Amino acid sequence: MCPTEPDPGDMSAIPERDSHTEAARRRRLDWLRTQAGAPLTPVQYMRTRAEDLVGNVENLIGAVEVPVGLAGPLAFSGTHVSGCLYAPLATTEGALVASASRGATALSQSGGVRTHAVAQVMTRAPVFQLGSLDRAAAFAEWISERVAQLRAQAAQISGHAVLVNIRPVMTGRTVHVVFSYETGDAAGQNMTSACTWHACQWILTRFPAETATDIVRFRVEGNLSGDKKVTYHSFLNGRGTRVVAEAEVSADVLGGVLKTTRDRLLETHRFQRGGAVHGGMVGNDICIANVIGGMFTALGQDIASVHESSLGHLELEAAGDGVRATMVLPALIVGTVGGGTRLPAQHALLDMLGCAGPGGAPRLAEIIAGFALALDLSTLSAVSADEFVAAHERLGRNRPPASAPARTETPVPGPGGRPGTAAPTGPGRFRGG
């Protein structure tokens, strides 16, 4: 029977839940070893101090290492980014970095990619239930007339989140209220939640006082915002940064780099658009989640936001003897301050891209969009040329090398370079460090 409430005296409870010290981390890991009957040696050592992870994780036991590959270079000519850049992709999928690099080469040889971060908005959508349809209609109208007052309420909580719009959505006696904020260089989910809750407390007091009408029920989120979900609402209205990337690719580059032709590529795109419609896809893309997930992981972004951030729409059309490719990402949730962006490795990679700190969010959005377009173009070309499976067979990491090295015992370095416990290494095993 799993305990429903943590009990400090219960040996089955995770120890020192609220402590972020290194000693507490090690005690939790030792406890887990006993509970699970597993050595968990690769999890034992960390490069990041436990004390530096307050606000990032609870019940810390260790860290997993995700390899980071470098894709590119990709030539940019954008509103917030220009020049040749490389993208760090944290992934364990063979062929991903190579494919993104091939697409980047094709775009760069054709003059590069043009990018523009159109707008940034973060939404939260509380829900109110009234006693009747008429009262709900009156509430929606009342809300619409008090944007200035609600903006002032939100501003008391955060000087970074600016309430730009409020839109009530009636669904019978229930009214969902979409609060839309600009949050600068922060992704903004937490700050907008706090701002919205505070503004709603004002609503819960003022509306009954001014109208003599009770609000029956209130919840701070009614699931209309689309937080960490793929929705048509986010696709159409935006959530996070809306960003566009576009490039023309010549026939010579299509043949020489992407190993396909204009006609085969356009035909394949037509097939896939039809399949997307019949499959109920929101938007149309090939595999942009690979770039977004890889870059989010490497750069300290909210990994759960990969789901909604991977909304995208790829368009191809004939342009001269080649094609014009356009990628729209309507809901890219990125930030360059706060959260995981302050961790050492993630911050270093953001800094490498020129995106660390204030002012970096629109630049980061354009970089991600450019590499998302590069990967989709490369993958679609591989499908059109019937090379998709062959590329994964050649580059995929799902099989061990023909001559695998012998398994050895290697000392695992402890914190500060001190010797640690010997750990088996070789094919199929992690190596500590």
**Contact status, residue 283 vs residue 238, Cβ threshold 8 Å:** no
Does the annotation mark 93 as catalytic?
yes
Res 413: pLDDT: 39
**Contact status, residue 334 vs residue 361, Cβ threshold 8 Å:** yes
CA distance 240 to 338: 15
DSSP label of 426: S
C-alpha distance from residue 106 to each of 260, 353, 399 (Å): 12, 21, 29
For residue 155, what are its two tokens?
Answer: 């501003």
Q: 135-160: buried (b, 16+ CB within 10 Å) or exposed (e) per residue?
A: bbebbbebbeebeeebbebbbebbeb
CA distance 4 to 426: 40
Residue position matching structure tokens 């980061």: 364
Task: Indicate the SS3 state at residue 83.
Answer: strand
Rg of the Cα atoms in the chain: 25
Write out the DSSP string of 112-177: -EEEEEEEEEEEE--EEE-SSHHHHHHHHHHHHT-HHHHHHHHHTT-SS-EEEEEEEEEETTEEEE
Q: 301-338: buried (b, 16+ CB within 10 Å) or exposed (e) per residue?
A: bbeebbbbbbbbbbebeeeeebbebebbbbbbbbbbbb
Residues whose CB falls within 8 Å of the CB of residue 323, separated by 6 or more in sequence, listed in order: 248, 249, 254, 262, 265, 266, 316, 317
Residue of 16, 22, 182, 302 with catalytic role? 302
User: For residue 338, what are the β-bridge partners?
Assistant: none
Does the annotation mark 228 as catalytic?
yes
Query: What CA dihedral angle connects 270, 276, 279 and 282, to 10 degrees?
Result: -160
Query: Which regions of the chain are under pLDDT 50?
Result: 404-433
Residues whose CB falls within 8 Å of the CB of residue 219, separated by 6 or more in sequence, listed in order: 126, 127
**Contact status, residue 219 vs residue 229, Cβ threshold 8 Å:** no
C-beta atoms surrounding 71 within 10 Å: 26
Residue of 116, 198, 228, 259 with catalytic role? 228
62 backbone φψ class: left, alpha, beta (φ>0; ψ -120 to 50): left
**Contact status, residue 367 vs residue 85, Cβ threshold 8 Å:** yes
Residue of 20, 80, 93, 307 with catalytic role? 93
**pTM of the prediction?**
0.87
Res 21: pLDDT: 95
Write out the DSSP string of 232-244: HHHHHH-SEEEEE
Q: Which has the closest alpha carbon to 44: 58, 60, 56, 26?
A: 26
Does the annotation mark 141 as catalytic?
no
Res 389: pLDDT: 74
C-alpha distance from residue 348 to each of 83, 298, 367, 408 (Å): 19, 10, 16, 33
Res 406: pLDDT: 45
CA distance 404 to 346: 32
CA distance 295 to 307: 13
Does the annotation mark 259 as catalytic?
no
Residue position matching structure tokens 């990041």: 48
**Contact status, residue 246 vs residue 114, Cβ threshold 8 Å:** yes
Say if residue 73 is preceded by a cis peptide, omega within 30 of 0: yes
CA distance 201 to 384: 56
CA distance 45 to 421: 10
CA distance 1 to 64: 29
Q: What is the pLDDT of residues 354-409, one digit of tens each?
A: 999 999 999 999 999 999 999 999 999 999 998 877 665 666 655 555 554 444 33
